[in-house]
Structure 1
Amino acid sequence: MYEDTTAVMLRLLRGPDGDPARVLVTGWFSFQDGEATAGDVLAERHASDALTAAGIRHDTAWSRGFRPGALSLETVRPEAYDTLLFVCGPVHGPQVAALHARFGACRRLAAGVSVVDPADPAATGFHEIVARDGTPAPARHDLAATATIGPLPPVAGVVLTHGQGEYGARRRHEEVNTRITAWLAGKDCARVQADTRLAVDDWRLCTTAEQFLALLRRFDLVVTTRLHGLVLALRTGTPVIAVDPVAGGAKVSAQARAVHWPALVDAGELSEQLLDRWWRWALSEPGRTAAARHATR
């Protein structure tokens, strides 16, 4: 009978002596110079939820670069655990191998992982491996595929300008961009940087105006310091927060007034409170309706 990854993981965790006393959940998201991908984090969530549902006490070690202040491999006490669980990613390389030395007194299990080289000490150091690929056993589903997720946040297109030297001493571009991006970093949203510049020799840029419009149309809102970020977002019916990076206002402000678009912020009045106000409005029904009216012009 085929067992899914989670069922096999729990069965092996329990071992011959019953449930473990305490499990430390680790992965590439635990290493200081590793990385935390969306798949890694969802795999950890799936494993953690499964352990909780099974009544197994556990903690998770996070990279201090990703979650400052959380339990980390640098601060954890190996003697506090009898089992180490490694989830997601390849069981390969010196960082994974070092776990076996440090947690030598623990029973060590890997689940939902890729086995690149079965002879690698990183792989041979585990007592049990529930692989998603790389072994003779049938491929198993990735743990991230069935992890619990919350409501999906809005997608924000970010269209910023960095040049415009013609404005001389009135330029506030660097300061405005720094404040906007710092504010956006604290918003629960998916941020997508977009550039109005077209090119035929750079796959990251759109080649035609229609391609750029197609991109804008798929955003829930746009935050921009560019005139055409404002104009073209409204052309697609996408709400936009326009910030004029020129002291006293220039073409962004003039265009917002020309089309009677209210979500305009002057460089001299830029604040998180004002940005938050327009953010709420842009994502509200009145904001979406106002943008839709521009698309039908």
Structure 2
Amino acid sequence: MRALVIGWASLRHGEATPVDVLGMRRVDAALSLAEVPHDLAWGPSHRLEGLDYEEVDPARYSHVVFVSGAVRGRQVCEVHRRFAHCHRIAVGVSVADPGDDAVTGFDQVLARDHQGIATPDLSIDSPTDEVLVAGLILAREHTAVRSFVTKWVSGIDCGRVPLEPGLAFSDWERCATPDQFASILSHLDVVVTTRLDGLVLGLRAGVPVLAVDPVAGGGALTAQADALGWPALVPAEEAAERENLDSWWRWCSSVQGRAVAALRALPTDNVLMRDMVKAFKTGPVR
């Protein structure tokens, strides 16, 4: 006996949602506890580890467990055809049409919701690992640097939150006030930015900022990092060097990085304000 655990995260045109993946992990843990030999198989959109679903040998398995999501459609029917010799179980799934071939093809259906009856989803008690949450504030221009940064950060194990600093009252996807934007930043662990807004407001919130200046030779971002005494700055010429970005990411994630950022959040005597007030007092009145 050997079971193959699959779900929508295993199928080529399926979507790997957190609920679906956590459901598969929950089944994995339950089968391991019961000492049932089994494998997990993933599709091209979520193949972090384990088997490629399209390459598994059906003859190797006696059971197939389909986990989470709605049971419907051609791809689920293809599971029945491909694993016709297996005992097929659907668990933690939604059943909209009990007469659908995708549903009737299973030997057992253990639904999470069916005909008005619901049970807690499998993901509700599936454990997760806590990771850092990074806000990404990236300029739309300077596409080469932006591409380097996004490609690099896609390989970092963190929760990624894209943020647009442009304020708008009529667009629900944007903040309407700087207070709203600052409140979001205060809940992050790290900010990754190619914009001055990300550097200044991130440090204002006491959050370590990995700043990448998109301007060759150094622009406003470099000047502001110098003014604030902030070390985690990568020049545009070094944006393609993953090792450099990795090094500063580790520093920003460290106790030292957080401590230095907390110091930058302290109130300062801004020289620009002093000079402006002085100009009012000393300048000519017309």
Please indicate, yes or no, whether the TM-score normalized by the shorter chain is above 0.5.
yes
Gap change, CA 1:42 and 1:69, over 3 Å in 2:
closer
Give yes or no for the alignment of 1:264 onto 2:233: yes
- Tell me, in whole angstroms, the C-alpha distance in 2 between the residues paired with 1:282 and 1:60: 35
Report the aligned-residue RMSD: 1.5
Residue 160 of structure 1 corresponds to: 138
Give yes or no for the alignment of 1:27 onto 2:12: no
- Tell me, in whole angstroms, the C-alpha distance in 1 between the residues paired with 2:191 and 2:224: 16
The secondary structure found in structure 2 opposite 1:180 is helix
- Tell me, in whole angstroms, the C-alpha distance in 1 between the residues paired with 2:50 and 2:258: 39
Give yes or no for the alignment of 1:51 onto 2:14: no
Deviation at 1:52, TM superposition (A): 1.2
Deviation at 1:41, TM superposition (A): 1.0
Residue 277 of structure 2 corresponds to: none
Deviations 1:121-179 (A, max 9, x none): 1111111111111146x4222111122323x110011101123xxxxxxxxx2221111
Contact 1:159–1:195 (8 Å) recurs in 2: yes
Q: What is the one-letter code of the residue matched to 2:125? A: T
- Tell me, in whole angstroms, the C-alpha distance in 2 between the residues paired with 1:296 and 1:51: 52
Any unmatched runs of 5+ in structure 1?
1-20, 164-172
Q: In structure 1, which of residues 196, 202, 214 is the aligned counterpart of residue 171 of structure 2?
A: 202
Residue 139 of structure 1 corresponds to: 118
Mean CA deviation greater in 99-108 or 183-192: 99-108
Give yes or no for the alignment of 1:222 onto 2:191: yes
Aligned length, in residue pairs: 266
Q: What is the one-letter code of the residue matched to 1:147? A: S
| Percent identity for Structure 1 against Structure 2 | 47
Residue 103 of structure 1 corresponds to: 83
- Tell me, in whole angstroms, the C-alpha distance in 2 between the residues paired with 1:104 and 1:254: 66
- Tell me, in whole angstroms, the C-alpha distance in 2 between the residues paired with 1:84 and 1:187: 33
Contact 1:64–1:70 (8 Å) recurs in 2: no
- Tell me, in whole angstroms, the C-alpha distance in 2 between the residues paired with 1:44 and 1:273: 34
- Tell me, in whole angstroms, the C-alpha distance in 1 between the residues paired with 2:149 and 2:66: 38
Residue 122 of structure 1 corresponds to: 102
Q: TM-score, normalised by structure 1?
A: 0.85
Deviation at 1:70, TM superposition (A): 4.7
Q: What is the one-letter code of the residue matched to 2:121? A: D
Deviation at 1:269, TM superposition (A): 2.8
Give yes or no for the alignment of 1:278 onto 2:248: yes
- Tell me, in whole angstroms, the C-alpha distance in 2 between the residues paired with 1:269 and 1:72: 36
Q: In structure 1, which of residues 89, 93, 100 is the aligned counterpart of residue 73 of structure 2?
A: 93
Residue 5 of structure 1 corresponds to: none
Deviation at 1:61, TM superposition (A): 2.1
Tell me which stretches of 4 or more aligned residues in structure 1 moved more than 2 Å.
Answer: 68-74
Residue 276 of structure 2 corresponds to: none
